[in-house]
Structure 1
Amino acid sequence: MSSTTVTLDVPTPAGQVWQLIGGFGSLPDWLPYITESRLGEGGRVRTLTNEDGGVIVERLESFDESAHSYVYSIARAPFPVTGYRSTLKVVDLGADGSRVEWSGTFTPDGVTDAEATALFEGIYRDGLAALEKTLDV
């Protein structure tokens, strides 16, 4: 099993960041390459459409409002991995703002550990760069 984590520190209060990214269906609000998010099964499954028309289906595994975090898994996606689980979390840094942590674990399928890790590091890094731009910090 492989894993990776990417973080972003911003001068924005944790509650404000969580307000933007904490909704399981909120990816299109801050991630430009996700153009649509449809929720199903009472909000526990999201069907995402990317700018190329690709579809990713993810399941909410746990949600903790007070800890500003949620965990999700991939049910269907064009990624060369199995057993994918990811956590998106906002940590309060007090007067310094907050830290956004995006991490994942997965088993590469048909690619090397390094290739799978690089793929998700890139996705997380690009996603957090988009979040930073959305926050306009």
Structure 2
Amino acid sequence: MRRRTLPLFPLAAGALVAATAVALATFAPPVAAHGPTRQKAVETIAIDAPAAKVWSLIASYAALKDWHPAVVDSPADKGNEVGSVRLVKIKGGGELVETLESYDAAQMKYSYRAKNGGALPVTNYTSTIRVTGDASKSQVEWRGAFYRGFPNNDPPPDQNDEAAVRAVTGVYQSGLANLKKLAEGR
């Protein structure tokens, strides 16, 4: 009597590959959604005043209280020195702690960072303000990058991407509008 041996791999090579792919797909772990993406806000304003005059209003890192209508106080422990820490106290309560990252008086700009947003629904916030122009007109650009206040998926409405962008844009718009008013003498 003759014995029959079965092949070790009864499926054809193509069928084996297909079966393996189906098995892997069936048992693959679910893919988790990634966290928040970096958001940006950029606001600019044209001012009918010399760039040097506009810069003189914002040049001091501690001067935010002098030109931003929502700020009560903004002392900076080391003035315009990189590493200076500014405590921004907001009218109606709340505060932010910001660190000066770069300062360039010749280019009329500086950048700062706030690790957490404090009074704003943001985290890992960086910002740069810059004045450009000539002896009669100027433009101020205030730009920032940040993450929403809630770092995980499914943030509450007051800490989602839209709330973060809306809050930072509001800060920039109100500050720049008041700066324009001060610089133009209105």
Identity of aligned residues (%): 36
Q: Per chain length, whose mean CA-contact separation is higher, i.e. which structure has more relative contact order (CA < 8 Å, sep 6+)? A: 1
Alignment of 1:5-44 (within 5 A): 5-40=42-77, 42-43=78-79, 44=84
Bigger radius of gyration among the two: 2
TM-score computed with the length of structure 1 as normaliser: 0.90
Stretches of 4+ aligned residues off by more than 6 angstroms:
none
In the alignment, structure 1 residue 57 sits paired with structure 2 residue 97: yes
Q: Which runs of 5+ in 2 are unaligned?
A: 1-37, 151-158
Query: Residues 78-133 of structure 1: CA distance to partner in whole angstroms, max 9, x if unpaired?
Result: 322211000010011x3650100011000113233222111111110111111112
Q: Which has the higher strand share?
A: 1
- Alpha carbons of structure 1 residues 104 and 53: separation in structure 2 relative to 1, 3 Å: same
When the two structures are aligned, how many residues end up with a matched partner? 135
Q: 2:142 aligns with which of 86, 102, 105?
A: 102
Which runs of no fewer than 5 residues in structure 1 stay unpaired?
A: none
- Give the alignment's TM-score, normalised by structure 2: 0.68
Aligned-CA RMSD value: 1.5
Report the Cα offset of residue 49 of structure 1. Answer: 1.2
Instruction: Give, in whole Å, the separation in 2 of the partners of 1:133 and 1:97.
Output: 14
* Residue number among 74, 80, 91 corresponding to 2:121 in the alignment: 80
